[in-house]
Structure 1
Amino acid sequence: MGITTVSSREFNQHASDVKKAANDGPVFITDRGRPAHVLLSIEEYLKLTGGQESLADVLTEQRQTDFDFDIPRLKVTIRPADFS
């Protein structure tokens, strides 16, 4: 497993080459010489996360549901403040 480092400019100009490099190991993408992002293959990502979906993934995924969910209305009674 090799580690590759590319600048943001190189990443933008050679995205397909960088994606291929990510198959061999992590690719660090730098901004102004400092590491800013890491590109991983999906297999490596799943190893790191334990293969579990994040909450954000679950919430953004369009899944078919087998139930209806109606949010109940909140009944609020407004009373004037008693300052006595």
Structure 2
Amino acid sequence: MIDGDLYLVREGAQSPLRLVPFVQLRAAPRNAQYTTYFYNRTEGPSVRMISYQYGPESELREDAEIFRPVFGALASR
């Protein structure tokens, strides 16, 4: 595991699931200092990340290729 990263570990599991890129702390919209974005779904070549903290600026899109290595790990579980 990488020091300072967040992981999800199932009891009895041999290896943890690293939550990055599924949970991201980023610079926030104009009206706040930071916000947290969560993976919501894949839409074609992009991934939808959402924040529950801010209204009109609560969504962003990422290239799905960033998530491909992690999706592979999830599919094999």
TM-score, length-scaled by structure 2: 0.22
Higher Rg: 1
Pick the structure with more helix per residue.
1
More strand by share: 2
Q: What is the TM-score with the length of structure 1 in the denominator?
A: 0.21
Higher relative contact order, chain-length normalized (CA < 8 Å, sep 6+) = 1
